[in-house]
Amino acid sequence: MFYWKIISVMRGLGYKFFLVNGFFLLFFISCKKEMLPISEGTERAADQQLKDSIFHYYKLYSLWSDNIMSEDKALFSFTDSYASPVDLLTALKRTTPFHAGYNASIDRFSYLEDISKIGSSPDDIEVNRGFGLFVSLGAVNENFAYPIIYYAEGGSSAAQSGIRRSDVILGIDDDQDFSVPVSCESGSCKFTDEKIRQAVVNKLLAAMQQSSMRIKVRHTDGNESTKSISSTPYEVNPIIKNKVFLYPAKAIGYLALSSFEAVPEGKANRSRLNQVFDDFEQNQIRDLIFDLRYNTGGHVSTVEYMANKIIGATADRALMYKYILNTYLSQPNNLPGESFDDVNFQRRNNLNLSTVYFLVTDVTASASELLINVLRPYMNVVIIAEHNGTYGKPVGFFRQEIMGKKGLWVASFKLTNARNQTDYWDGIGGDQRNVRDYIFRDFGDAEEDMLSAALNHSLGKAGSSARASARSDRGQAVKMTRIENVNIVSQGYMRR
């Protein structure tokens, strides 16, 4: 099973068992356990064997294995020079080529997980734990900023309670003071008291460690409500919002997806997505807007499913993607039961799309980038970016279990599209850049900046407000000013 995901240890300010790094093509395999060759008569303690094995497998699987020293008698002195497995892995990653784009070694992706705590079964990857809340700070007027919910993950207690993007947090439990003073001028705001800002952030982070909370929010219609939510395990519903915008000239589909969860036959996620695309076909949409602004990745098989639901008739059976492998993985049967064969499109739709729009931010990564990349050779793709483009994760890996203690994920291969485009280490650039991610309007609101930009482009109305008869209702939103570059509370959301 192939999987591609950005690591998210505290995703949504709650613990998420999607422990996957970077833009990783994580594919779970059951492969023969190889024992590290140890010289006869050599005795190594368990912690030494663990570090020796990390070196061995990193050398075996790394896409840049030629840069790594050989396994000779110097191996033990090298691994013993590092205090911990993490320190050793950090040193190994530093042996990979330097990448100027992020001013570091190119392998910023490989990582270790503690499988003794989360379990060794890949089935854990389908379960998230937490409140499912993603929070920023934004100015609600010229004097004060408050925590703003910019995303409540589907399936979570927060989402089920009715909390949604654009809700303003007024209080948590008995604490009703979450305001932060700001000074605003010409539409730009700054914090005026850093101590108060940090105190509010600390209170939010502390609240997210609780097992439950009562959260008071103000909705965009001005009404206030108090919700009781719990930090519990939940199965993700990745569909944030879907609708069809009906204009006189054309119908435009919209789908906001939080992650590329597995879509096996007979399961809820596949059924939900089939219904979405059935609705698109029934309304004969001509353009599709794919909102991936917070989508950090998921299963490659789901990317294939999505691509086959979008691709046009002329590209049916054409190449979707192929692998670029390291030397070891290029040899047949080194990973029994796994295939690195080319993958071709198998069209599963009756759409006739003119353009596919992608709404992205600098956390859009992995499987999201793969979907964009495989469609580019065959379709008119337009990328609307909050900043410059996507995150940049063109490598994949799989988990190697070591001694029942650690799971080692080594960046081992790349996927390339039909044009051999693969080296987007610094992200896939946007066609329209610096388009504000306006968190004060809900997903699917035609007046939200990023969605509006896509609608306007589709309708040929640059700079105008897109209005339509939408198939799902939306509330009235109050326009507020967003504080840029200082607003991410969920500091553990993405590890780089």
Domains located in the chain, CATH noted? 2-127 (no CATH), 131-234 (2.30.42.10), 237-312+347-392+427-465 (3.90.226.10)
DSSP state of 336: T
- Alpha carbon of residue 227 to chain centroid: 27
Question: Do residues 355 and 382 make contact, with C-beta atoms less than 8 angstroms apart?
Answer: yes
In 365-477, beta strands by DSSP E: 380-385, 395-396, 399-402, 406-409, 413-416, 469-470
Which residues are CB-contacts of 319 (< 8 A; sequence separation ≥ 6)?
A: 342, 343, 344, 345, 417, 418
pLDDT of residue 29: 28
Going residue by residue through the chain (496 aa), what tens digit of pLDDT does each one get?
A: 444 544 332 233 332 222 222 222 333 322 334 445 544 456 899 999 999 999 999 999 999 988 888 877 688 999 999 999 999 999 999 999 999 999 999 999 999 999 886 554 444 346 788 999 999 998 888 899 999 999 999 999 999 999 999 999 999 999 999 999 999 887 788 899 999 999 999 999 999 999 999 999 999 999 999 999 999 999 999 999 999 999 999 999 999 999 999 899 988 999 999 999 999 999 999 999 999 999 998 888 999 999 999 999 999 999 999 999 988 888 888 876 677 899 999 999 999 999 999 999 999 998 999 999 999 999 999 999 999 999 999 988 888 999 999 999 999 889 999 999 999 999 999 999 999 999 999 999 999 999 999 999 999 986 555 545 443 333 222 223 333 333 333 222 222 1
pLDDT of residue 452: 97
pLDDT of residue 69: 82
Which residue has tokens 């691994």? 79
Question: Do residues 37 and 409 make contact, with C-beta atoms less than 8 angstroms apart?
Answer: no
Which residues are CB-contacts of 40 (< 8 A; sequence separation ≥ 6)?
A: none
Of the candidates 136, 35, 80, the residue with the CA atom closest to the CA atom of residue 386 = 136
The two tokens of residue 147 are 């925590």
Query: With 0-12 CB in 10 A as exposed, 13-18 as middle and 19+ as buried, what is 481?
Result: middle
Question: Do residues 191 and 182 make contact, with C-beta atoms less than 8 angstroms apart?
Answer: yes
d(CA 488, CA 160): 23
* pTM of the entire predicted model: 0.84
Question: How many Cα atoms within 13 Å fall on the side-chain side of residue 249?
Answer: 9
pLDDT of residue 20: 29
d(CA 291, CA 276): 14
The two tokens of residue 410 are 């080594």
Question: Do residues 351 and 280 make contact, with C-beta atoms less than 8 angstroms apart?
Answer: yes
d(CA 210, CA 368): 32
Of the candidates 488, 262, 457, the residue with the CA atom closest to the CA atom of residue 356 = 457
d(CA 417, CA 370): 9
Question: Do residues 62 and 410 make contact, with C-beta atoms less than 8 angstroms apart?
Answer: yes
d(CA 313, CA 352): 8
